[in-house]
Structure 1
Amino acid sequence: MQPKQIDTLTSLRFLAAASVVVAHMMGSIVPPFFSGAPLALGVSFFFVLSGFILTYAYQGRFDARRFYISRFARLWPVHIVTGLLAFVLLSPFLAKHPEWLAPSIANVLLLHAWVPVVGYVFSHNAVSWSISAEMFFYLLFPVVRGRWLKLAFAATILGTATTLAVLDTVPIPQGQPNIWSFSPSNLVLQHPVMRLLEFLVGIATCRLYLSSRNDVPFATIAEAGALISILLFGISSNGIAAELTRYGWRHVGMWISQTGGMLLFAVTIFIFAHQRGRISVLLKHRTIVWLGEISFCTYMAHQIIIRLFVKYSVSDRLGWIPASVLVLATVYAASHILWRYWELPARLRILELTKVRRASTESAQGSFM
């Protein structure tokens, strides 16, 4: 028997995806009113949520074959169609450049974030780097979900700390930077190993949730406090990064600015998973839950749509307010169409062809977006 879907967490996916959409609209469609706000922290939230939901969905007996096929069916169909759309609509000229063949192959295989080079990490549909990182997490999940979790934590913390220390203390020879050069920032911000800690925190949070199952005291206050804490971290994270950079720890600051909210995200997920407060009641509204269900498609399609609007100077022609409304309407309409007529049918077809029974919680809630 599959555990019941947690509607509040599905709805939080909508809010996190929306923050990423707004982040990519700033400075392109919308004037950069909040250019200093790290709205893209939504990706970090998804990494923590991913570890939580997978642990929640795969309680008890674990079938590795079923897990890997389900994960492939969840990510790859949407990834491949949005990647093709990005290529055809935005960059067909890349077909003339042989150097793009290797990144394209890596992209199709969801390995592109594993190579810390801009031309690989952001190839085609740039936001897909995050599901490339997710693919790495999935490969490790059958091992780290069990007794190896503590060892994985220790190894990841040691590896992350060592990498950041080396980048900030050892001079790295650099030539003229280009999209085919080694990129320390891509290593710090997009490489799966450097983002693994967030996923592991999600697993540990779900273990705590499953072992406690107690009501959260003062649930509404706890929910509000968790959201306010995330807001405060978002406001202060760039300042923290700037201060660390001033003292020579640029890459440490960069990493903390994007991943330092993971414990706050974990606490928020733990609190809202209990669904006891007044805010949870709002988040369980069917419309918000639906927006959460289509949020993976929202995430994967939004930047393509924004880039098309920029390409045709829609904001300049209409003004940024009408253009913003039109962008958001297009993003969410396209998200629903992609979800209803491609993601769901393709996923179910893959599961049918491979004779893998659909897992209701995993399929409905997903592990990412």
Structure 2
Amino acid sequence: MRFFKIWECMMPISSDRSGAIPALTGLRFAAALMVFFSHYNIPGLNGWALRVQGSGYSGVTFFFVLSGFIIAYNYLDRFESDPIKNTYQYIVSRFARIYPLYALCIIYPWMNSGLETPLLPYLVGVQAWSSDVYFSFGINGPAWSVSVEVFLYLTFPLLIPVLSKLNVIKSRNRLLIFALFSFAAQLCLAAYFSMPGRAELTSINPDSAHRWLYRMPATRIFDFCLGIAAAIYYKRHFVATNKVQRTWSRAVTASLLLILVLMGWSKNFLSAFSWDAAYAALFTIVILGVAIDQKSKVSAAFSGKRMILLGESSFAFYLIHAILRPLYTAHPSGSLMYQVLHLAIFLLIVTCISIGLHLSIERPLQKSIKQLFSKKKSTVAVA
């Protein structure tokens, strides 16, 4: 009871917040880079540094938490007041945001693969539910996370009315319990899959932690919920003061350092905890802290125009970096300088292509689809 009284004092009610949070867009590119370097080794690294690079798969956990935060930040009010009325526009918006480029990055590599793999499960975004890791990561490996996102997007219109009914949105104490429950569920699942007999299972085993904790959409709901809880706190219960903002800024720095330590820790690397639980709460603190103190050094580093453009292009970057692998062939026999320069040029190529895809395909089609479906809805309403 004493803990909740302290929590009550720390969280005075404030007015709703709205508007863009530029640093969160920039951070998306940092997370995409983490995934990129987990797939393309930086020459000359070994030991702790090599494990940090290999642990870049944790970047997808950041994306799932961020999705919960951004969607709740933008849609909380509408779904709390009238979920049925706002679901249509929400679905159209999410579809326009991810599907055109996703479909392109599925169909093209499928055509290159010889057309033997069934296309439909990938087009409708259900491949991550498969127990076969080769099917989940088929056609375009990184696209499995979009399959998870599709599931998370569909749960949001159901989650918010339930949270509202349970008074989680308005009650600070219940919001805390909701967040703690989500994190505790992740810890319990990780502990279960760390038990002898399960911890040794490889990613190709359908009973492995990799299948159930990393790529399974149902268990990723807890990342999403942590992001939603953070957004509710930021929008409804947080009051900005210089002292509180400085505290959150320090929390962001400490969390980033701890994430780095965990990524390089040999006992955590490829463990059941590393697939999700080790990073989810820390990424939540980073996202929330960056939103709270938008003038901090971390926020400033990711808020520039170039970083925002890279962040907006990060979805394209994420989807194409594996497709473009034929353009890059590592040559370990070359000098270290040659290898580093070779990888840097390839990274530049991937980045430039992703920006081009964002500006020429992703952004125009997103706008066109929204306009098309808005007109259709207006026409039906008038009729």
In structure 2, distance between residues paired with 1:264 and 1:183: 27
Verify: 1:303 aligned to 2:322, yes or no.
yes
Q: Is 1:107–1:120's contact at 8 Å kept on the other side of the alignment?
A: no
Bigger mean CA deviation after superposition, 79-88 or 7-16: 79-88
In structure 2, distance between residues paired with 1:123 and 1:236: 29
Bigger mean CA deviation after superposition, 32-41 or 234-243: 234-243
CA-CA distance at 1:49 after TM superposition:
0.8
314, 319, 339: which one aligns with 2:358 = 339
Bigger mean CA deviation after superposition, 185-194 or 150-159: 150-159
In structure 1, distance between residues paired with 2:186 and 2:282: 19
Verify: 1:254 aligned to 2:272, yes or no.
yes
Query: Residue 155 and residue 269 in structure 1: after superposition, are their counterparts in 2 closer, same or farther (change >3 A)?
Result: closer
Q: Is 1:118–1:183's contact at 8 Å kept on the other side of the alignment?
A: no
Query: Residue 352 and residue 316 in structure 1: after superposition, are their counterparts in 2 closer, same or farther (change >3 A)?
Result: farther
Query: Residue 356 and residue 281 in structure 1: after superposition, are their counterparts in 2 closer, same or farther (change >3 A)?
Result: farther
- Larger Rg, first or second structure (1 or 2): 2
Q: Which residue is 2:133 aligned to?
A: 118
Verify: 1:232 aligned to 2:232, yes or no.
no
Q: Which residue is 1:223 aligned to?
A: 249
Instruction: Give matches, 1:15-30, under 5 Å.
Output: 15-26=30-41, 30=43
Q: Is 1:144–1:152's contact at 8 Å kept on the other side of the alignment?
A: no
> What stretches of structure 1 of length at least 5 have no aligned partner?
244-249, 358-369
Instruction: Give matches, 1:55-74, under 5 Å.
Output: 55-62=72-79, 63-74=86-97
In structure 1, distance between residues paired with 2:306 and 2:356: 16
Q: Which residue is 2:311 aligned to?
A: 292
Q: Output one character per residue of 1:293-326: Cα deviation in whole Å (capped at 9) or x when no partner.
A: 1111111111222x2134x557767931221121
- SS of residue in 2 equivalent to 1:4: coil
206, 209, 215: which one aligns with 2:234 = 209
Query: Residue 240 and residue 194 in structure 1: after superposition, are their counterparts in 2 closer, same or farther (change >3 A)?
Result: farther
Q: Is 1:48–1:265's contact at 8 Å kept on the other side of the alignment?
A: yes
CA-CA distance at 1:349 after TM superposition:
1.8
- SS of residue in 2 equivalent to 1:58: helix
Residue identity (%): 25
CA-CA distance at 1:273 after TM superposition:
0.7
Corresponding pairs, count:
334
In structure 1, distance between residues paired with 2:160 and 2:61: 19
CA-CA distance at 1:206 after TM superposition:
0.4
Q: Is 1:113–1:129's contact at 8 Å kept on the other side of the alignment?
A: yes
Q: Is 1:220–1:278's contact at 8 Å kept on the other side of the alignment?
A: no
Q: Which amino acid aligns with 2:368?
A: R
Q: Which residue is 1:367 aligned to?
A: none
Q: Which residue is 2:218 aligned to?
A: 193
Q: Which residue is 2:287 aligned to?
A: 269
- SS of residue in 1 equivalent to 2:276: helix
In structure 2, distance between residues paired with 1:273 and 1:178: 35
TM-score between the two structures when normalised by the length of structure 2: 0.76
- SS of residue in 1 equivalent to 2:234: helix
Q: Is 2:249–2:296's contact at 8 Å kept on the other side of the alignment?
A: yes
Q: Output one character per residue of 1:206-251: Cα deviation in whole Å (capped at 9) or x when no partner.
A: 00001234226454674354134233233225647559xxxxxx9x
CA-CA distance at 1:109 after TM superposition:
0.6
The answer to which structure, 1 or 2, has the higher relative contact order (CA under 8 A, 6+ apart) is 1
Q: Is 2:182–2:226's contact at 8 Å kept on the other side of the alignment?
A: no
Q: Is 1:294–1:336's contact at 8 Å kept on the other side of the alignment?
A: yes
CA-CA distance at 1:145 after TM superposition:
2.2
User: RMSD between aligned alpha carbons?
Assistant: 3.4
In structure 2, distance between residues paired with 1:17 and 1:158: 27
Verify: 1:50 aligned to 2:73, yes or no.
no
CA-CA distance at 1:59 after TM superposition:
3.3
TM-score between the two structures when normalised by the length of structure 1: 0.78
